[in-house]
Amino acid sequence: MKPLLNPAPRAHPDREAGAPVALPTRTVDIAADMGESFGVWTRGRDEEIAPYLTSAHIACGVHASDPGTLRRTIELLAGHGVAIGAHPGYPDLLGFGRRRMDMTPREIEDTVLYQVAVVKGMVEALGSRLQHVKPHGALYHAAEVDDLVAAAIVAATKRFVPPLAIVTTPHSRLFAQAAAAGAPAAREFFLDNAYKADGTLLSRRLPEAVLNDPEAMCRRAVEAVRAGRVAAVDGTMIEVRVDTICLHGDHEPSAVALPKLRVALEAAGVAVRPLGDFVRPPA
Amino acid sequence: MKPLLNPAPRAHPDREAGAPVALPTRTVDIAADMGESFGVWTRGRDEEIAPYLTSAHIACGVHASDPGTLRRTIELLAGHGVAIGAHPGYPDLLGFGRRRMDMTPREIEDTVLYQVAVVKGMVEALGSRLQHVKPHGALYHAAEVDDLVAAAIVAATKRFVPPLAIVTTPHSRLFAQAAAAGAPAAREFFLDNAYKADGTLLSRRLPEAVLNDPEAMCRRAVEAVRAGRVAAVDGTMIEVRVDTICLHGDHEPSAVALPKLRVALEAAGVAVRPLGDFVRPPA
Amino acid sequence: MKPLLNPAPRAHPDREAGAPVALPTRTVDIAADMGESFGVWTRGRDEEIAPYLTSAHIACGVHASDPGTLRRTIELLAGHGVAIGAHPGYPDLLGFGRRRMDMTPREIEDTVLYQVAVVKGMVEALGSRLQHVKPHGALYHAAEVDDLVAAAIVAATKRFVPPLAIVTTPHSRLFAQAAAAGAPAAREFFLDNAYKADGTLLSRRLPEAVLNDPEAMCRRAVEAVRAGRVAAVDGTMIEVRVDTICLHGDHEPSAVALPKLRVALEAAGVAVRPLGDFVRPPA
Amino acid sequence: MKPLLNPAPRAHPDREAGAPVALPTRTVDIAADMGESFGVWTRGRDEEIAPYLTSAHIACGVHASDPGTLRRTIELLAGHGVAIGAHPGYPDLLGFGRRRMDMTPREIEDTVLYQVAVVKGMVEALGSRLQHVKPHGALYHAAEVDDLVAAAIVAATKRFVPPLAIVTTPHSRLFAQAAAAGAPAAREFFLDNAYKADGTLLSRRLPEAVLNDPEAMCRRAVEAVRAGRVAAVDGTMIEVRVDTICLHGDHEPSAVALPKLRVALEAAGVAVRPLGDFVRPPA
């Protein structure tokens, strides 16, 4: 993401070479982080939002979740036809994976391998298949800026057959590393979070970072998907490419927006599908 | 196992229907528990014994092991052509899975599903395949006597495709439940542990439980495999059926016996193979 | 607790030797389990109920809680003048200490020592003092019926200076073991939980176990404290002795009853005080 | 520590104001990290080295240790009259506290408070008293260079009564913060680790960092204590101030050197005493 010099965004380079300039995206995924309870401690409103999603990112039992939560989450998602991704994080249950840890690339690769393995193994044992990998919390942010972290995540993910897509921000090191390794990668847009003019996300600790108007959220998301642009918090129009829209299911306005979002996207001619149906490795 | 009324043991009912009475077993597996380190804390002498095994039972990151230990253990075993089994235990790292926990059958099924999934996922990601499941420690013993525990382990194991063999003692509830569910099950014999006259193992806290003479261990194992019998601690001859021989790799005399064991078995006409090569589901 | 043969209960043997038969208790403590959050996962409504309590039982960072939760809970309670007790449980965070574990008496003594030590150390570092120890969940129930568990808890508690009271049910092995060891012990009554005719608690999984009428709860508690009796779920009147009333703060009707409870007790001539002010060791 | 411009070191400013220039230290403590086992996994040779120490730094059950290990370690040390310090680390059992974590100062203060509390509570329950606090691993190193980390450790330590000494390197931020807060602080010298010319330690991953000659180690330590100087790895003489000598008990040459060290120090006129006997807060 960068300030939008040319208001007519280019088509997605990797899969819409011949598409008209005005239609950068014709298909998008709607997803949320799920399965983040632990033992007696519940978190999120998974049952309420599952019917409206096409994909979900589920915790792997390390920074959150546990065997029972994983099984119930997979059953819930499979029951609604939602495609499942593994959401590995730093091995820090107490910190919910939100604290960066000084791990070696080898340690990161091993923990991602472990966490994706458990979700893949359970999803397949329960009759579904794993679609993708999205790093969680501090690992997500580390992979945006740190090539060694990004490469470790790609190396672990590439071990799995059939190939798993990687979900990240479009200008991250992780997106670049995935492309370099020939791995499919999906670009994530946040439904309920403001952007800065440089295309990065505003911290949700700032009140202005959190969007609260369901109607406005939906209009903004449709414009991001259709026109490839979004207004930053200071009004600057920035270029975006969107394969998957992420929302915070425990944020009330987002839960309200969710059922309207799909309707609005389809009304604008956008197909809503799991990202595995349309995200392809670089040619 | 029960006191041997008839000194000429019957042939294995499930795979040697036409075999002569005097040859109850022609093929056997040699295995050990492995991958039981955690973080900076190492345990066992995996590298030393791996070359002499046909199978290994590896901890899953719950009662022992961690992502790095799992990856290194899988690489070590794959490098020596040793077949890999998951060794799930109670979720009690501090107690090394040796303390029974009052878990519901659903909780046991979920934790076994989780633990087998992670090993299966990692083994496959690293280019091998998972062969079997053997419960660890207090879960192993609970599954010998408790039908609900045994059924939960079978239910979890049956979820995986292709089918995984279950390793347990021949007269356990787990062996019976596996048979009832049509799951392949392998009968385990302990190289370095004395038996009681009722066919159960003597607790290793008793000095007489632990065998220390490598030559005698090998002779005893060959007789158990070939003649289907072993002398209990009180001298009674008991009937045994052996698909897989387990040894404690951190017990020095067992490590000494190990290289001789395979030679002794082969000299007696016994083929030494991974259990997945010859253990079949009940007809 | 046992079926009430004599409707005029005896006076408390340990502190009201000369009291009239009709007034078995003149002082009582009101308490709740608190500090049961873990990391990002919150549990309970501690801030709402703290102002109405005289004591609280706080988790020690093993079956629940963590360093930050402990510090905040201690500050909250000290700010309201609520006396603090340690609430040690089985080392099973995933199971919230609700699953019995097959631990040796030595292991139980060590974990109780550890858990009480951390709360005592933190409470004193933050300028207060520790009042009592109450086992949590499955450890609470094990200590009601198992002499080895009860003795291990008493042995650990007796290590601390000045002496800490032990909170348990009046007919438990823990109460008997505390008395035998000369340790002060407080008898607990549950505000919002039905009793069986044998004086034990009905499992809260049964709908009839959970009381929902705040007014009736208060009347019942006043009668238990003043008259030493309570109606079991089948209508039988059973004898009770009450030093401390426990309520489930996350149960809405109990939170509603709480402010009324103290008023009702005081109107009936009962002083409401922290249990450390009046519970004494056996003479 | 810095390159030694003046070969005649100055006296310790804080406790030997009138001492002759040639005798910067007349009393020193000999200590080691201990109690670093976890569950079935043992580490170190605590029983072998305890008789020769005056102090020990013991893990608190977070990056290592557990309730049973803590109790046994405290009993072992108390039996040999060794003074006990708490050795808190990052909450990362898998990484043994060796990986820096991005914790807020508040989180660091809380975890240090928790970890010191548990050791203090257990030590006192077992009849001894806590002497000091020394951060472990990555937390030790973070506190050398990061003022926020150092201040958080001092803030937690200052909560305890009576005051606890802090052990760190002499030129660390932690030493400066302790002084600023009026907390007693002891300067640590490493018996078996080479120094760089800037006074910091060479990483033990480098072979030349690890000293292996017991006689030379003892001579070097005596010179450091008596003359206030030590040769860096490149031969530069650097100034040191030593209150406590730390050795790695699991390093064979250090275990060999240990009994000789005390003899050599005493022969050179140095008294060997627990640091709590002579380290005082800044005037």
C90 lies within 8 A of chain A by CB: no
D223 lies within 8 A of chain C by CB: no
Is pLDDT at C156 greater than 70 in this prediction? Answer: yes
Q: What is the pLDDT of residues C222-279, one digit of tens each?
A: 999 999 999 999 999 999 999 999 999 889 999 999 999 999 999 999 999 999 999 9
Find the mean pLDDT for residues A208-222: 96
Instruction: Identify all chain B residues contacting D95, using CB atoms and an 8 Å cutoff.
Output: 39
What is the pLDDT, as a whole number, of residue A40?
97
Q: What is the pLDDT of residues B4-30, one digit of tens each?
A: 333 333 334 434 444 444 445 589 999
C205 lies within 8 A of chain B by CB: no
Instruction: Identify all chain D residues contacting B96, using CB atoms and an 8 Å cutoff.
Output: 39-40
Is pLDDT at B200 greater than 90 in this prediction? Answer: no
* CA–CA dist D80, D53 (Å, integer): 9
Is pLDDT at B2 greater than 50 in this prediction? Answer: no
Task: Place A200 in a pLDDT band, splitting at 50, 70 and 90.
Answer: confident
D206 lies within 8 A of chain B by CB: no
ipTM: 0.91
Strand partners, C278: none
Tally C-beta pairs within 8 A across A and C.
Answer: 28
Q: How many CA atoms lie within 13 A of A2 on its CB side?
A: 5
Residue B158 neighbours by CB distance under 10 Å: 16
Q: Of chain C residues 108-167, which have a CB less than 8 A from chain B?
A: 138
Is pLDDT at A32 greater than 60 in this prediction? Answer: yes
Is pLDDT at B146 greater than 50 in this prediction? Answer: yes
What is the pLDDT, as a whole number, of residue D4?
40
Task: Place C204 in a pLDDT band, splitting at 50, 70 and 90.
Answer: confident
Between the CA of residue D9 and those of D1, D189, D196, what are the distances in Å?
12, 16, 18
What is the pLDDT, as a whole number, of residue D10?
34
Judged on CB neighbours under 10 Å (0-12, 13-18, 19+), C2 is exposed
Determine the residue among C63, C112, C114, C120 to mutate to test chain D binding: the one whose Cβ has the most chain D Cβ atoms within 10 Å. Answer: C114
Q: What is the pLDDT of residues D157-211, one digit of tens each?
A: 999 999 999 999 998 999 999 999 999 999 999 999 999 999 888 988 899 999 9
Is pLDDT at A207 greater than 60 in this prediction? Answer: yes
* CA–CA dist C164, D125 (Å, integer): 12
Is pLDDT at B269 greater than 60 in this prediction? Answer: yes
Least confident of A81-85, A145-149, B205-209, C160-164: B205-209
* CA–CA dist D255, D207 (Å, integer): 18
3-state secondary structure A186-235: EEEEECCECECCCCCECCCCCHHHECCCHHHHHHHHHHHHHHCEEECCCC
Of C66, C111, C160, the CB nearest to D67: C111
Contact B113 A106 (CB under 8 A): no
CB C104 within 8 A of CB C118: no
Find the mean pLDDT for residues A145-169: 98
Task: Place C15 in a pLDDT band, splitting at 50, 70 and 90.
Answer: very low
Of D39, D95, D98, the CB nearest to B94: D39
Determine the residue among B43, B90, B92, B94 to mutate to test chain D binding: the one whose Cβ has the most chain D Cβ atoms within 10 Å. Answer: B94
Contact C38 A41 (CB under 8 A): yes
What is the pLDDT, as a whole number, of residue C25?
59
Contact A95 C39 (CB under 8 A): yes
Task: Please tell us whether the domain made up of B26-277 is placed in CATH 3.20.20.370.
Answer: yes
Find the mean pLDDT for residues C110-137: 98
Residue of A156, A137, A147 lying closest to A175 (CA atoms): A147
Contact D101 A100 (CB under 8 A): yes
Residue C282 neighbours by CB distance under 10 Å: 14
Instruction: Identify all chain D residues contacting B43, using CB atoms and an 8 Å cutoff.
Output: 40-41
DSSP letter string, chain A: --B-SSSSPPPPTTT-TTS-TT-S-SEEEEEEEE---BTTB--S-HHHHGGG-SEEEE--SSSS--HHHHHHHHHHHHHTT-EEEE----S-TTTTT-S-B---HHHHHHHHHHHHHHHHHHHHHTT--EEEE---HHHHHHHHH-HHHHHHHHHHHHTSSS--EEEE-TTSHHHHHHHHTT--EEEEEETTB-B-TTSPBPPTTSGGGB---HHHHHHHHHHHHHHSEEE-TTS-EEE---SEEEE-TTSHHHHHHHHHHHHHHHHTT-EE--GGGT-----
Amino acid at D60: C
Least confident of A24-33, A92-101, A272-281, B238-247: A24-33
Instruction: Identify all chain B residues contacting A67, using CB atoms and an 8 Å cutoff.
Output: 107, 110-111, 113-115
Please give the residue of chain B at the shortest CA–CA distance from A118: B118
CB B233 within 8 A of CB B202: yes
Furthest CA-CA distance within chain D = 52
Which residue's structure tokens are 């979070």? A193
Q: Where are the domains of chain C?
A: 26-277
Task: Place A249 in a pLDDT band, splitting at 50, 70 and 90.
Answer: confident
A38 lies within 8 A of chain B by CB: no
Is pLDDT at A113 greater than 60 in this prediction? Answer: yes
What is the pLDDT, as a whole number, of residue C205?
85
Between the CA of residue B186 and those of B175, B275, D103, D136, D216, what are the distances in Å?
8, 7, 49, 47, 59
SS3 D84: strand
Asked if omega into A13 is within 30° of 0 (cis), the reply is no
The enclosing H or E element of D109 equals helix D105-125
Asked if omega into B7 is within 30° of 0 (cis), the reply is no
Is pLDDT at D12 greater than 80 in this prediction? Answer: no
Contact B117 A113 (CB under 8 A): no
- Tell me how close the Cα of C196 comes to any Cα of chain A, in angstroms: 27
